[in-house]
Amino acid sequence: MMIGRRKLIAGLGAGLTLGGCQKILETGPVDGFAQSLDLFTRDAQRLVTSRDALAREYSAAERSPDFRANGSRTVDTPEYRRHLAQGFSGWRLAVGGMVARPLSLSIADLQHMPARTQITRHDCVEGWSAIGQWTGTPLSHLLKLAGVSDKARYVLFRCADRYGDTPYYESVDMIEALHPQTIMAWRMNGQPLPERHGAPLRLRVERQLGYKHAKYVTGIEAIADYRDIAGGKGGFWEDRAGYQWWAGI
Ligand SMILES: Nc1nc2c(c(=O)[nH]1)N[C@H]1C(S)=C(S)[C@@H](COP(=O)(O)O)O[C@H]1N2
Ligand SMILES: [Mo]
């Protein structure tokens, strides 16, 4: 249903996008037009949904007994095996990029910060959904602590897993990054985040489709633009399979 609305808005965008002209000059017609259409879809969706609107939350009884794991289910490196064996006591999250105070945080550090718990539905673009409970540190708290620059427009998530040589990564804009339900989760259904769901730390960005929810996160960077990073489309599946950067549900 909601995806239908997105397509409708994207369709309108095809007829109406004019603001992309400058970007077309900068990056070439295809990329510039695709990105401006994607951002137009985002802006159009935001016209009809408040920037603070919360994703629906569910009761504990509604949690899915089997929450599917998708994409990487582990990180196939000796380093990750070592962290797993050590209960991730040596794992560090780097917070950097356009910030006044870069941070290096352990999972214990994160667990001593304000936390939020939410029961939400995960929607994968491949056509399945599952309801789970997530506890973690609000990303807004981390960005404030690091002193994020007001010139930063996006937040990039770097992940430990790779597909061949290509690391998984994702990015969201500042409105999604600062949204109250956007958390760096270290618990799922009351247990430490399981290996297959991204241990020890993964993003939950509840108004977006599943592929935005980066697992095995090692780094968070405040950035001005994602076009000069990796394949330039803002995320692993965006680069590889043409998934839309804007994945608003
Ligand atoms: N690092 C990383 N994050 C990832 C993926 C991945 O392969 N690697 N897959 C994405 C996709 S497509 C989905 S649907 C969700 C799946 O999360 P789950 O395994 O907890 O169900 O993780 C997303 N985040
Ligand atoms: Mo997915």
Per residue in 11-52, pLDDT tens? 333 333 333 334 444 455 567 888 899 999 999 999 998 889
Q: What is the mean pLDDT of residues 225-246?
A: 97
In short, whether 121's Cβ falls inside 6 Å of ligand 1 is no
Ligand lying closest to the C-alpha of residue 72: 1
Contact status, residue 133 vs residue 118, Cβ threshold 8 Å: yes
* The token pair that represents 151 in the structure block: 């010139």
* 5, part of any domain: no
Report helix, strand or coil for 235: coil
The CATH number linked to 155 is 3.90.420.10
pLDDT in tens, 109-150: 999 999 999 999 999 999 999 999 999 999 999 999 999 999
Cβ of residue 226 lying under 6 Å from some atom of ligand 1: no
30 located within any domain: no
In a domain, 110, yes or no: yes
The first and second tokens of residue 31, run together, are: 């990329």
Q: How many CB atoms lie within 10 A of CB 20?
A: 19
Establish if 79 belongs to a structural domain: yes
Q: What are phi and psi of 144, to 5 degrees?
A: -65, -45
Q: What total of structural domains would you count in the chain?
A: 1
Report the nearest-CA residue for atom 12 of ligand 1.
Answer: 211
Determine whether the shortest distance from the Cβ of 233 to ligand 1 is under 6 A.
Answer: no
Q: Is the dihedral of CA 77, 83, 157, 58 positive or negative?
A: positive
Asked if residue 23 belongs to a domain, the reply is no
114 assigned to some structural domain = yes
In a domain, 198, yes or no: yes
Rg (CA), the chain: 18
Domain presence at residue 36:
no
CB of 216 within 6 A of ligand 1: the answer is yes
Q: Whose CA is nearest to atom 9 of ligand 1?
A: 71
What pTM was estimated for this model as a whole?
0.89
**139 is in which domain, residue-wise?**
54-235
